[in-house]
Structure 1
């Protein structure tokens, strides 16, 4: 077992930015939407009536340091 060595047979090719950019933008938009719901979805900035969204993200709101009550 002492004679085992690693010898790669192929060279890795870089991924073109054109293939990564759409996924990065999509992920960024999802993060911004999640941040909106955790941070400002209550009171005057409320888009969805009721307290369901607030109660759903309540613990995450406190974990990230957003006051809510």
Structure 2
């Protein structure tokens, strides 16, 4: 079986097997989107992390999430 094209068969239909690292990367991406959309300054509002807060705040605007 070719590592780039893994398939399992269920009955007469072929099903592509998704590697574990793809699921992990997708989960991290979803968590990042949740962090950017739900963060209202509670996690990153310390004065030392104010720049990081503003970056995530701008990311929320890029996603079209309302704020304030």
TM-score (norm 2): 0.55
Q: Which runs of 4+ in 1 moved over 3 A?
A: 51-54
Partner in structure 1 of residue 11 of structure 2: none
1:25 is displaced (CA, Å) by: 1.5
Partner in structure 1 of residue 6 of structure 2: 15
Partner in structure 1 of residue 60 of structure 2: 61
Instruction: State how far apart, in whole Å, the 2-side matches of 1:35 and 1:63 are.
Output: 11
The alignment of Structure 1 onto Structure 2 pairs a total of residues equal to 53
Structure with the larger strand share: 2
Distance 1:67 1:54, change over 3 A: farther
Q: What CA deviation, in whole Å up to 9, does each residue of 1:10-42 have, x standing for no partner? A: xx9323526x1x112211211122112210012
Partner in structure 1 of residue 34 of structure 2: 36
Give the alignment's Cα RMSD to 1 decimal.
2.6
Q: Which has the larger radius of gyration?
A: 1
